[in-house]
Every structure is written in structure tokens, then in C-alpha cells.
Amino acid sequence: MIYLDNNATTEIDPRVVDVMIDVLRSGPCNASSQHAIGRAARLRIDDAIDVIGSAIDSALDQPGGPRLIFTSGGTESNNLALTGLADPDAAIVLSRIEHPSVIAVAEHLAAQGREIRWMDVDHTGVAKIDSLADLIQSGDRPAGLVSLMSANNETGVIQPIEQAAQICRDLGVTFHVDATQSIGKVPISFRSLGASAVTMSAHKFHGPTGIGGLWIAGGVKLRPQLHGGEQQLESRPGTEPVPLICGMATALQLATSELPETQPRLSLLRDRLEQGLRSAHPDLVVHGSSRDDEGEVALVPRLPNTTCLSFLGADRQSMLMALDFAGVACSSGSACSSGSSPPSHVLLAMGLPAEQVQSALRFGVSKFSTEKKIDDAIDRISRCYKRLRQNRAVEN
Ligand code: PMP
């Protein structure tokens, strides 16, 4: 199988597995226990936090400074951010292309009477940042929270986070960034991001599933959503999963230290895939782009590993199944909604024609992809596409 679904999850790095096995084999690990074994577990967590702090350029050990709350992953971090940050009565502003773990929470809060204000995106998939200040200030009272993802999981399109942070700072609004897809693919400094809170998830950067974090800037208050123990300063009680925390720290350290080599390699492999497919099928639509009068495609800044393509004349679900059968793993949208696979809310928000939405697939390469696998994938994808198109032509 050629795995090109790395925005859904990544293969765990063997070096992370080694660290986790060591910790798993080291014996009981409850960092709250008041004996030597408990203290050893606490030390492992403290070390992991130091490693994570250096990797994201944010000192996490200063009293009153930024802190990291370990969660079960991106979904929980996003839930915690939306429900736990800012005044619970103030409106929330979010873009229409956020991950379902943001949108569904917002809809849940809206059903309880919370006002949600939506920020539109343009046809390339970039949030219309010029509307943000008005959205914050419109209505009876200013919004209390803005949530914007750093890069979209379906198109890879990078969002105007710095501008959003500046606007939120000027207007005194709490700003949450879902950085789940950016970490390990593009450089990101939490210190200079200007966010109040940032979501991360280890399995997106070759770490284990089931662990993530919500970084909180110094002085930002959070209402916990779980109650029960004093762990993590009561922000998120429950016995800390020490092997997962150590795995996440190692994965993050590797992802950020190796980024200077990984980032250009990911770009090269993604571009190879895109160009190979486009030269075989010139009418393929690359999302996150616009065409000028001569038909030249101009791409907006995207994550280096991601491409979202519409195979006009083919249905995305049929394409996905044909590719699965042919040994290529990709996705027809967010993995979290692919069970039922409704049309992508991201592509719909971009105002794309139905034919493009119906035929869109997402491919994501990783550091474990190779040129050979990409060339092989181009061949298999091309063959599937040609066959489906021919079948469609016969049916019509
Ligand atoms: N946010 C984004 C942008 C994502 O891509 C994902 C995973 N698809 C999540 C949040 C949820 O992360 P997790 O799978 O760790 O719950």
C-alpha cells in the first residue's frame, strides 16, 4: 500500500517507539504518587515538558508563564479551548473551514444559546481576514474568542494567523489557533505566534495517537472541562499517560530539529505527485490556487506535504475505493467525517462548483514517502482515473 493519507495520521517514527517501549517497560508510572517511583515518573514528565518547550520555542517552566496541558489529542484540545477559554457568554468567531472538532463544539454551544460568528474564506481557501475586526465588533457586544486554524487539513492552505493575532491583540480578544496540521511541516514559534492558546496532536507528527496538548499563554485563564483530580493543576485531571507524553516529546523534538531537511523534501515529493498527475491529466483542478487569463495556475501558500485535487468526471468515493483496491491510500476529506463522507464543508465554503467538490481527493506525503512510491502512485492514480472516466462515458 502506498500511504498518502498523512494528514489523517502519520506512521510513528521508530525512534519514538523505542523511547515509549523503554518507558512502558520501566514499571509503574503514576506521577502523582508520593514515593520514589512516582517521583521518577514526575521527572519524566518534567523532562518531556522541557523538550517540548524548546521544540516550540516557549519556556514552559516559568511561574505565570505559558503552560502546556496534555490532552488525548487535537479533538480534545479544540473542545477544551472553545468551551474553556474566554467569557462563556461572549460570541465566538471562527472560520468556515475549521476542523469538525471546532465546528461541532461551536454548534453544540450555539444550541445552548452562544452566538457564533462565521468568517468566510475566498475561493483559494484563505480566511477573509479583512472581515475579522468587524466580526469581532459586530452585534450587541464584542466577541470573546476567535478560533482560526494555522493550516487547513483538507487543502493545506496556510491561514493568516499573524494578522489574526494582531487584530485580536488590538481588540483584546482571546485567540485560539488549531495548529494540528502545521507542526512538523512548517516552522512555528509559539512565543512569537501571538496566540492565547494553541492545539497540537502527536499522531500528526509521527508520534503516538491518543496524546496532544493545549498550549496556553501566560495569564490566560481556562475553565476545566473534566473534574476529579489535581493533575495538571486541575486544568485536565486524570493520571498522566507518561509513555505517551514521552513519545510526544521525542516526536516533536525530532519533527522540529529535522524540519530543515524534511520541509523541502515534502515539497519536492508533493510537487512531483501534483506535476506528474497534472501532466497526465491537464484538466485536474489543484485547490488552493487560482487560474489567470492564460490558464496559468497560481498557488497560495500551502503546507509542503498536502495537495487537494479534483478529478473532474469521476466521483470521489468511487475514486477512493478504486485507489484503495489499487493500493493507494488517500482521503475524500477530513478523516473524522469520511465514514459518512458528506461533501467537504471546506470546498463548499470556498464556493467551488459542485462538480469539483464531488470529485475532490486529498493526498498527503510524509518524510517516509519516497520518489519511487510517488511515481508508482502517479501511475496507479492515473490508471484508476482513466478507467472511471471511461466507465462514466459509457454509462452516459
Ligand atoms: N484539527 C485538525 C486541523 C486536524 O486535522 C485534526 C485531525 N484530523 C484534528 C484537529 C483532530 O485531531 P485528533 O485526531 O488528534 O483528535
pLDDT digits (tens, 9 = 90+) for 354-393: 999 999 999 999 999 999 999 999 999 999 999 998 887 7
Q: How far apart are CA 93 and CA 143, in angstroms?
A: 7
Locate 291 and state its grid cell.
Answer: 487560474
HSE, CB side, 13 Å, CA atoms: give it for residue 285.
23
362 lines ligand 1 (CB under 6 A): no
| Cβ density class 106-125: b for 16+ within 10 Å, e for less | beebeeeebbebbbebeebb
Q: In what order do the strands lie in the sheet with 285-286?
A: 285-286, 306-310, 360-364
pLDDT score for 340: 54
pTM of the model: 0.96
Backbone CA torsion sign across 183, 188, 191, 192: negative
Q: What is the DSSP string of 88-131?
A: TTS-EEEETT--HHHHHHHHHHHHTT--EEEEPB-TTS-B-GGG
Mutate to test the pocket of ligand 1, among 97, 199, 201 (most ligand atoms within 8 A of CB): 201
On the question of pLDDT at 274 being above 50, the answer is: yes
Is residue 278 within a helix (H) or strand (E), and if so which, with residue range? helix 259-280
Residue with CA nearest ligand 1 atom 10: 74
Rounded mean pLDDT of the chain?
A: 94
Please enumerate in sequence order all residues whose Cβ is within 8 A of that of 380, keeping only pairs 6 or more positions apart, or say none.
2, 323, 326, 327, 328
Domains of the chain: 2-7+260-395 (3.90.1150.10)
Ligand 1 atom with least separation from CA of 202: 15
* 8 A C-beta contact, residue 195 and residue 218: no
What are residue 308's DSSP bridge partners? 362
- Over residues 298-313, the mean pLDDT reads 94
Q: Please give the sequence-ordered ranges of beta strands (E in DSSP) within 184-238, or none if there are none.
A: 197-201, 212-216
Residue with CA nearest ligand 1 atom 14: 74
pLDDT score for 366: 98
Angle between helical axes of 242-257 and 36-55 (0-180°, round to 10): 20
Is residue 347 within a helix (H) or strand (E), and if so which, with residue range? helix 345-349
Q: pLDDT class for 229, splitting at 50, 70, 90?
A: confident
Distance from Cα 201 to the centre of ligand 1, integer Å: 7
Q: How far apart are CA 350 and CA 334, in angstroms?
A: 16
Amino acid type, 193: L
Q: Find, among 50, 54, 85, the residue nearest to 190 by Cα.
A: 54
Q: Return the number of other C-beta atoms located less than 10 Å from residue 184's C-beta.
A: 28
pLDDT score for 253: 98
Locate 177 and state its grid cell.
Answer: 489557533
Distance from Cα 216 to the centre of ligand 1, integer Å: 18
Q: Active-site residue 336, yes or no?
A: yes
- Over residues 344-348, the mean pLDDT reads 97
On the question of pLDDT at 338 being above 50, the answer is: no
Q: How far apart are CA 262 and CA 255, in angstroms?
A: 8
pLDDT score for 334: 52
Q: Which of 246, 308, 330, 336 is catalytic?
A: 336
pLDDT score for 391: 84
Burial of 102 (0-12, 13-18, 19+ CB in 10 A): buried
Angular region, 123: left φ>0, alpha ψ -120 to 50, beta rest: alpha
Distance from Cα 99 to the centre of ligand 1, integer Å: 7
DSSP class of residue 292 equals -
- Please report where in the chains the cell 505517551 appears, as a residue: 244
Distance from Cα 140 to the centre of ligand 1, integer Å: 33
DSSP class of residue 301 equals P
Please enumerate in sequence order all residues whose Cβ is within 8 A of that of 193, keeping only pairs 6 or more positions apart, or say none.
161, 162, 165, 177
104 lines ligand 1 (CB under 6 A): no
Q: Find, among 151, 373, 124, 384, the residue nearest to 272 by Cα.
A: 373
336 lines ligand 1 (CB under 6 A): yes
On the question of pLDDT at 192 being above 70, the answer is: yes
Angle between helical axes of 242-257 and 259-280 (0-180°, round to 10): 70
Q: Return the number of other C-beta atoms located less than 10 Å from residue 43's C-beta.
A: 11
Residue with CA nearest ligand 1 atom 8: 8
Q: How far apart are CA 235 and CA 225, in angstroms?
A: 8
Ligand 1 atom with least separation from CA of 8: 8
Helix (H, G, I), strand (E, B) or coil at 363: strand
116 lines ligand 1 (CB under 6 A): no
What does the pLDDT look like over 69-114, one tens digit per residue?
Answer: 999 999 999 999 999 999 999 999 999 999 999 999 999 999 999 9
Share of the chain above pLDDT 90, in %: 89
335 lines ligand 1 (CB under 6 A): yes
Its ipTM equals 0.99
